[in-house]
Amino acid sequence: MGLTAAEKILKEHFREGTFKPGNEIGIKIDQTLTQDATGTMVYLQFEAMDIPRVRTELSVSYVDHNTLQTDYRNADDHRFLQSCAKKYGIYFSRPGNGICHQVHLERFGAPGKTLLGSDSHTPTGGGLGALAIGAGGLDIAVAMAGGLFYLTYPEIIEVRLTGKLHSMCSAKDIILTLLKKETVKGGVGKIYEYTGPGVSSLSVPQRATITNMGAELGATTSLFPSDSMTREFLALQKRASVWKPLQADDDAVYAKTITLDLDTVVPMAACPHMPDNVVEVSSLAGKKVDQVAIGSCTNSSITDLGIAADILQGKTIAESVSLAVSPGTKQVLDSAVKAGIYHTFVSSGARILESACGPCIGMGFAPGSKGISLRTFNRNFKGRSGTADASVYLVSPETAAASALTGTITDPRSLDSITTGNYTDIISINDNMIIPPVSPEESRSTEILRGPNIKPCPLGSRMPETIRGTVLIKVDDNITTDHIMPAGAKILPLRSNIPEISKHVFEAVDPHFHERAAAVEQGIIVGGENYGQGSSREHAALAPMYLGVKAVITKSFARIHKANLVNFGILPLVFKNPEDYNSIQESDELVIENISETLLNGNTLSVTNTRSGAVFTVSYDGDGRLIEILLAGGLLNYTKEQLTR
């Protein structure tokens, strides 16, 4: 029996465990990436391991999230990150060089490599044929130290593409179509592998758009083969030497096959407030638009900007619309200037923003109150834009540009004939904003620079034998990490200061959560289905741990957040009977006894509700190493113990 492309990479990097679906495996990581919103904590954790230099083939530290320097805090974090990169042998991508996933695709990604990143959209690299996985920051720190990355061997789902996209239909419409079918939790525990004759018609930037938003499916990652199109992309980047072919064997076996005919794909839009709330753009036609944003790690390549500029060429945006464009990287920005795309945008009335994440994470360009914003981004969670009552729609660059012109949501196929250019090979390569690692000798003499906002990473305590915790909050299905730990210009500068950022946990859901947590010794969170979907931000586990949360009981978890809870010594428990969720009230006291003994000898624990006297059962499906991590009080404690031994 042959192997899928994903299985080939997994098998080559497999080091521990049982190599079959459903079992935990440990794989070697070739490359890591961090961004500044998560990176400060990653390097504080790496520093705590007392290892002089990274042990990966390549690690890169990017600055792309906290680029608004409204006071000293973000600037201090950037200085800290740059000094850490010099100290530990890491490439440093300076502020303004671009969004981590797009820069990595251009300058560092390689087919067949494993890439682990402290950002949930790390699977963007799958468009290049890399097995790229998003994870919590502590997992990245361990990988940089030479440790393995552990995951449950995923199911491999084949997405067989046939046909070819029509004019004004795009890769964004492909992934939105798949999201409509599979939903935001359909990909949990799965890898989506793209095959079929339709693959050859998609460029690497188009493939990267699809793998980027595979994160919204909840997938472990997504993967395209490495073929002649991949080689062509790498040759344009002057990196043809890293190319190698990668594809599934003809007799590879998949857990399931989804067939998608690209001839049938039409412009799609994800409606507020979830990426899988997808409809055809034509069904929304005529709806007034206040704001349009083109960019993000999903749609900010030179080809994305080029098609939008072609639509806007010689025209002016509607007077009711504010349009902003964020080039994904400095390379894209330079190329846009060279090709005349920049001038087209400015002439049309667009505002050109920095090559950074920006509006996607609520860092500037927030919509007006009750505003309708069309964005070529990957998430439209309520309030993520920075405006709580805004309605955000996710669309393609084609739909975004067409709607900016008309002032209403517009199917781009309805426009008069548009002359489109080929911008694929208009590339300006200049790596002067990437600082390479220095020699080990110079590293040893490097001082790490810290500002007053940078606090040590708090350590968890060993798991108690009995948890007697107060239910601090009870939430519904599809709670995101944005709900748990908000982003935006107000919160992101606190990422390196856990005591301060913990004051904002669940702030958008319940502004009194912090004071309730501070008033009790042990806390418990109760949730519904798919708890913790969205961003990989480990702060959504780290800050609750700091506040004394000992367990989270839900109907189901999103993959990365569940792993982060374990990493910080918080028990992630699932109701054996989902109906027991209904019997719990906020402020109930729940008692879980004999924890270590029960975890070591089975996976079912009993929980007593002291208010009602009811007893119900919950399960934890990890074993072996994961239980040891929980009992140690988290992965950092566990790793330090292992290194000491």
Residues 304, 405: one domain?
yes
Residue 112, CB-side half-sphere exposure with 13 Å CA sphere: 13
CA dihedral sign of residues 356, 362, 364, 370: positive
Predicted confidence (pLDDT) at residue 643 exceeds the cutoff of 80:
no
Q: What is the pLDDT of residue 644?
A: 65
Quote the pLDDT of residue 474.
97
Condensed to tens digits (0 to 9), the pLDDT of residues 577-611 reads 999 999 999 999 999 999 999 999 888 999 999 99
pLDDT at 640 over 80: no
Output DSSP code: residue 542: H
The Cα 63–Cα 93 span in angstroms is 6
User: Residues 463-517: pLDDT tens digits?
Assistant: 999 999 999 999 999 999 999 998 877 888 888 899 999 999 999 899 999 999 9
Q: Please tell me whether residues 106 and 254 are part of one structural domain.
A: yes
Mean pLDDT for 210-226 is 97
For 19, 41, 318, 586, 594, the CA distances from 27, given in Å and listed in that order, are 10, 23, 52, 40, 32
Measure the CA–CA gap between 337 and 264, rounded to whole angstroms.
35
Residue 289 has pLDDT above 70, yes or no: yes
427 inside domain: no
Q: Are residues 238 and 312 in the same domain?
A: no
CATH number for the domain spanning 371: value is 3.30.499.10
Instruction: Kindly give, in sequence order, each residue whose CB lies less than 8 Å from that of residue 108, ignoring residues fewer than 6 positions away.
Output: 31, 33, 58, 60, 91
Question: What's residue 461's pLDDT?
Answer: 87
- Render pLDDT for 1-16 as a digit per residue (tens, 0 to 9): 899 999 999 999 999 9
Yes or no: say if 316 and 407 are a contact pair by the CB < 8 Å rule. Answer: no
Query: Is residue 188 one of the residues assigned to a domain?
Result: yes
Q: What is the pTM of this model?
A: 0.89
Q: What is the pLDDT of residue 491?
A: 85
Q: Domain of residue 601: give its range.
A: 467-644
One domain for residues 598 and 490: yes
Measuring CA to CA, which residue among 259, 395, 373, 271 is closest to residue 322?
Answer: 373
How many domains would you assign to the chain? Answer: 3
Is residue 642's pLDDT more than 80? no
Give the pLDDT band of residue 645 (cuts 50, 70, 90). Answer: low
Other C-beta atoms lying within 10 Å of the C-beta of residue 337: 13
Give the tens place of pLDDT for each residue, 26-78: 999 999 999 998 899 899 999 988 889 999 999 999 999 988 888 888 999 99
Q: Which two tokens stand for residue 28?
A: 């070697």
Mean pLDDT of the chain: 94
* Count of beta carbons in the 10 Å neighbourhood of residue 550: 23
Look up residue 98 and give its DSSP letter: B
| Residue linked to tokens 């220095």 | 438
In this prediction, residue 602 carries a pLDDT of: 84
CA dihedral of residues 465, 470, 474, 479 (deg, nearest 10): -50
183 inside domain: yes
Using DSSP, state whether 57 is helix, strand or coil.
coil
622: DSSP letter: -
Residue 377 lies in a domain: yes
**How far is the C-alpha of 22 from the C-alpha of 14, rounded, in Å?**
15
- The residue out of 414, 431, 456 marking a domain boundary is 414
Q: Which residues contact 473 (CB under 8 A, 6 or more apart)?
A: 506, 509, 510, 513, 516, 525, 526, 586
pLDDT for position 170 = 97
Do residues 376 and 319 both lie within one domain?
Answer: yes
Return the residue matching tokens 């460029």: 203
Read off the pLDDT of residues 407-428 as tens digits, 9 standing for 90 and up. Answer: 999 999 999 888 888 888 888 8
d(CA 227, CA 111): 10
Domain identity same for 474 and 601: yes
Q: Is the pLDDT of residue 641 over 80?
A: no
98 and 149: one domain?
yes
The per-residue pLDDT for range 458-468, each reduced to its tens digit, is: 888 899 999 99
Mean pLDDT of 191-218: 97
Model pLDDT, residue 97: 97
**549: in domain:** yes
| Domain end among 380, 414, 448 | 414
User: In terms of domains, do 286 and 245 share one?
Assistant: no
pLDDT tens across 318-374, in order?
999 999 999 999 999 999 999 999 999 999 999 999 999 999 988 889 999 999 999
Given 3-state DSSP classes, what are the helix, strand and coil percentages for the chain, each rounded to the nearest 5?
35, 20, 45
CA distances, 115 to each of 130, 133, 238 (Å): 7, 6, 21
In a domain, 282, yes or no: yes
Answer yes or no: do 498 and 615 share one domain: yes
Same domain, 234 and 195: yes
Residue 340 is assigned to a structural domain of this protein:
yes
CATH number of 629's domain: 3.20.19.10
What local confidence, expressed as pLDDT, does residue 345 receive?
98
Q: What is the mean pLDDT of residues 127-132?
A: 98
Q: Does 534 score more than 90 pLDDT?
A: no
Q: How far apart are CA 632 and CA 642, in angstroms?
A: 11
